[in-house]
A and B are shown apart, each in its own frame.
Chain A
Amino acid sequence: MSTDLPAQVTRTREGRPATVLEAIAEALWEEMERDERVFLLGEDIGAYGGAFKVTRGFIDRFGSARVIDTPISEGGFTGAAAGAAHMGLRPVVEMQFMDFISPAYDVLTNYIATSLYRGAGPLPLVVRGPVGGGNRGGPFHSQNVEMAFFHTPGLKIVYPSTPRDAKGLLKSAIRDDNPVIFEEHKGLYRAPYCRELLPRDDYAIPLGKARTALEGEDLTIVTYGLMVHRSLEAAAELAKDRIRAEVIDLRTLLPLDEDGIVASVQKTGKLLVVHEDTRTGGIAGEIAMRVNERAFEWLDGPILRVTAIDAPVPFSGELEDYFLPSVADVVTAGRYLFRY
């Protein structure tokens, strides 16, 4: 096996900033080195290194028994991951695009998510892969899949927005005893504005805890993934009008950091939820209900949301740009809410 390290896992070792993709690759690499129970399955992740090259070179270091090229059968290899997890291994399944997770919906929701509750024990496995639009991928390579699984008790759902979080949260997901769906926005994979120097030490970020990406007093923006960056841009724009927005990055969608959201709303009295996923049945509805249950008396205005429109992700650039939530949309909603 090769002793040369693939370039995408050496940024932190070399003291250079890492992209989200490199942070994810580093997390996988380090967890595989730390724990021999961790192994990878997915389409073309071995010799080819994965569609986005996250696992390029892994097979040379860890061998084909731990970097398994699977047939094109998302349900089959996700079910197999469950069996391996039952036997004490810690599989990490790569969906080439998370849009393709739908064939595995059955085994994920009916078998894997119910395992602990049925008395069949915990199933420590991660299903990770690229999500999100803005890359002209059209309806089958651009979806956000979180809400297809958000309704399923037993799962955890993680959606990082920065390299530091991507690495720390993925490590936590791999070490977690529960099944975790880990969404990686492909628009952040190599985004130049989204590079960070990562801690050299082993670190993990706990699941279920949001972070305050920006402190503010006038309104709360709850968001995640790529929309964290859109919301921060919007907050900078709002600040020109002396509107101080607080931006909460959820990081983990399930379990939801309800305490973190409520604490921010109690401070600002106003809530705007921003997500790239479509509107109906989006997480904004659940967040609004929970704030209604726990912080109704603190609200000084309606809870608003900025989301994609209720449509499949369109293919044409002009259509997709209109479909996706923009910085201007967030600014408009923020101004409205501030003045309410």
Chain B
Amino acid sequence: MSGDAVEDLLYQGFQGRLLEESLRRMPPSLRPEAATAVDVRAIVIARAMRQTVDGRGDLCCPGPMSPGPALAFGATPLEFLRHVTRRGTSPASARAGGTSWTDLRRGLIGWDGGRGTMTQVLAGAALAFAQGDQDRAALVFERRSAIETGAWHEGMNFAAAQRAPVIVVLAPPPGRGRRDRAEIEGVARGYGVGLLWFGGEPLIDVFESVAGARRRAVAGDGPSLIALAPRTDVDLRASHDAFVEWALAEGGRTRGDLESIERAAAAGVDHALGRIGKEPDPDPEEALAPVRTDTPSIRPWTRMKSPRPDELAGTAPSGAFGVH
């Protein structure tokens, strides 16, 4: 693991933990409906991919593990809060919600619809990487229950058949403690893809395993499936603490470094929390954003400033009806 990766994981790990605590303390009117838990393993998995800001790096759908993987791909706490609280400044201009948004230049892609769809989409993106012989791979986080949907199996089947460089992560089911390893192993075997199973392994091992899966995927060996076993918040914090200790013992970091990184992470979260309450609501006319690239949206004629239907009788209809 490079020095930059160690620093990033420390920073994002601190940031994720602080963001999680802050989300739980937010007033109900602002609190997002989901994503109040940050699993540090998801941050590590995402950081093991290749991030760029020019649209040429790996592609990540943080899905149910947001915001952790999004942070690893360069999203900021303020962007996340703007999005989940549907501010007018949100990355999707408040026209989409959920926990993930799309910024292809940074390698982020998001949608909070039906389970399995993003495995299909990321499989296709990965196919494009392979067709272009690019050093790129796709990473998608799905809920554990996705594998009970036809959509997910169609996406996984397509990815496996095409040997597309995609890594599919199954998040642990919220509130479910029992592992269902045998079933997931059977699924991986059925598609002929590699399976990584992460419970409480050291984060450095998680990172190296995922980096290896990514290398194999880009080399043409096909997709990998990763399953995250359920862990308690206490366990996850212990994992992060152990990583911090590793960074001190073997990662070339000092206590001073750690304090500095933690202060910077806290400053980012504090800034986001301070700002989010002041962020504007979206302008209602944002709803008129185009749905196609070359045709304007139709404004309801009853919401024009001067509909004057009385003037229209017997005359050639004008643009007052807002049609095109």
Interface: B289 (CB within 8 A): yes
Question: Nearest Cβ distance between residue A218 and chain B, in whole angstroms?
Answer: 22
Interface: A34 (CB within 8 A): no
Contact B128 A258 (CB under 8 A): no
Contact B92 A119 (CB under 8 A): yes
Q: What B residues does A111 contact at CB under 8 A?
A: 111, 113, 117, 121
Q: Please list the residues of chain A having a beta carbon within 8 angstroms of any beta carbon in chain B.
A: 39, 65-66, 68, 70-71, 73, 75-89, 91, 106-107, 110-111, 113-114, 116-122, 153-154, 156, 176-178, 208, 255, 258, 290, 293-295, 297
Question: Nearest Cβ distance between residue A57 and chain B, in whole angstroms?
Answer: 21
Interface: B93 (CB within 8 A): yes
Interface: B122 (CB within 8 A): yes
Contact A119 B91 (CB under 8 A): yes
Contact B123 A107 (CB under 8 A): no
Contact A79 B317 (CB under 8 A): no
- Bound-state CA distance A85–B125 (Å) is 8
B117 CB contact (under 8 Å) in A79, A89, A176, A294: A79
Within 8 A of A (CB), among B264-302: 289-295
A293 nearest in chain B by CB position: B321
Interface: B139 (CB within 8 A): no
Contact B317 A294 (CB under 8 A): yes
Contact B122 A116 (CB under 8 A): no
Q: What A residues does B158 contact at CB under 8 A?
A: 70-71, 73, 76-77, 80
Contact B114 A106 (CB under 8 A): yes
Interface: B85 (CB within 8 A): no
Contact B291 A80 (CB under 8 A): no
Q: What B residues does A81 contact at CB under 8 A?
A: 124
Contact B123 A293 (CB under 8 A): no
Contact B293 A122 (CB under 8 A): yes
- Give the most central of A89, A113, A116, A117: most B CB within 10 Å: A117
Interface 0/1 of B119-131, CB less than 8 Å to A:
1111111111101
Contact B111 A79 (CB under 8 A): no
Interface 0/1 of B84-95, CB less than 8 Å to A:
000000011101
Q: What A residues does B110 contact at CB under 8 A?
A: 120
Interface: B1 (CB within 8 A): no
Q: A71-B158, A73-B154, A75-B151 are in contact. Are A119 and B117 (CB under 8 A)?
A: no
Q: What B residues does A118 contact at CB under 8 A?
A: 92, 95-96, 101-102, 111
B94 nearest in chain A by CB position: A119
- Bound-state CA distance A218–B258 (Å) is 84
Interface: B162 (CB within 8 A): yes
Q: What A residues does B289 contact at CB under 8 A?
A: 117
Contact A79 B292 (CB under 8 A): no
Within 8 A of A (CB), among B216-242: none
Contact B323 A39 (CB under 8 A): no
Q: A75-B154, A84-B127 are in contact. Are A107 and B95 (CB under 8 A)?
A: no
Question: Nearest Cβ distance between residue B284 and chain A, in whole angstroms?
Answer: 15
- Bound-state CA distance A23–B317 (Å) is 40
- Give the most central of B125, B292, B313, B321: most A CB within 10 Å: B292
